[in-house]
A and B are shown apart, each in its own frame.
Chain A
Amino acid sequence: MAEQPVPQSPLASLADALAATGADGVTLAACPARARLNLRLDPEDGGALEAAGAALGGTLPLAPNTATAAADGWSILWLGPNEWLVCGPADDGAARAGALEAALAGTHHAVTDVGAMYTTLTLAGANARTVLMKGCRLDLHPRAFAPGACAQTALARAQVILHQIGAEPVYELTVRNSFAHYLASWLLDAMAEYRPA
């Protein structure tokens, strides 16, 4: 009988290095697999915005660079004026995509499962902001980038979706699988100066 291929995180080879972080104010961790849906619809299209929000148990953010929380641990990230990234637990993705499709039937929309395209990293701790500032040109000061803020930007020249989920601060970095190993290695190197001797 043929063996079934087992999905493997692009960060598997860095597991030991990631587990060793956290000693001095900054922790880098790989998030478990999760569902991600790219949602596109016209917010001017009467009812589509509300229908999608109702299907997700939340509200689609219209303010640029913000994210909102939805029901059951899902979150909705603003990516553009008619584009959102909807993230949640991995085992719930197909059901949520189906619910969105049903709610948006008859409107001009697209729901695309992009869950297998991305890897998510969590960077947390008092020094997390200064680590990010080494490779990101956004203003990450709390007055400009607070919990609930999200942005698509470049970190160490890799395209990332940056989402601040906690005030500590805690950041979620969503990056393409092919960039994940590079970005995690770059972050580990950037964190080295905070490691106790």
Chain B
Amino acid sequence: MLWIDCPWCGPRPETEYRYGGEAHIARPDPAATDDAGWADYLFMRTNTKGVHAERWMHRDGCRRWFNVLRHTVSNEVLAVYPMGTPRPETPRLPGDGAEGA
């Protein structure tokens, strides 16, 4: 069971949250994007082994979205930060994949 620090409500168990997939995926302009670019936006994710930026929503609590940095091997939650802010720097950890940190 993950324990995630909701930025508003404090530490709560994973079962209170809804997972929202990878964070920081910018929606391209549909008029200026070809099919391949649009498919890339819709379907392609990094599948990171290591530190992964992802979105979570506190479904059973304040119902607000925020970003979490989680290590996909150890499941350690490294940072919680608001929507719309850049991904914070994290130190490299043992077990980080090529795309970690």
Contacts and interface: CB of A to CB of B under 8 A. Distances in A.
A64 B8 contact: yes
A127 interface: no
A64 B9 contact: yes
Nearest to A158: B60
Nearest to B16: A154
B64 A153 contact: no
Contacts of A64: 8-10
B13 interface: yes
Contact of B12 (A79, A80, A81, A153): A153
B60 A80 contact: no
Contacts of B75: none
Contacts of B16: 137, 153-154
Interface string A49-85: 0000000000000001100000000000001110100
Contacts of A152: 9, 60-62
A80 B9 CA distance: 8
B63 interface: yes
Interface residues of A, number: 14
A64 B11 CA distance: 12
B15 A65 contact: no
A151 B61 contact: yes
Contacts of A21: none
A159 B62 CA distance: 11
Nearest to B11: A139
A82 to B, nearest CB: 10
A100 to B, nearest CB: 21
Contacts of B9: 64-65, 151-152
B90 to A, nearest CB: 26
Nearest to B1: A137
A134 to B, nearest CB: 15
Contacts of B10: 64-65
Interface string B32-64: 000000000000000000000000000111111
A60 to B, nearest CB: 15
A137 B64 contact: no
Interface of A: 64-65, 79-81, 83, 137-138, 151-154, 157, 159
23 contacts: A64-B8, A64-B10, A65-B9, A65-B10, A79-B62, A80-B8, A80-B63, A80-B64, A81-B8, A81-B62, A81-B64, A83-B62, A137-B13, A151-B9, A151-B61, A152-B9, A152-B60, A152-B62, A153-B60, A154-B16, A154-B60, A157-B15, A159-B59
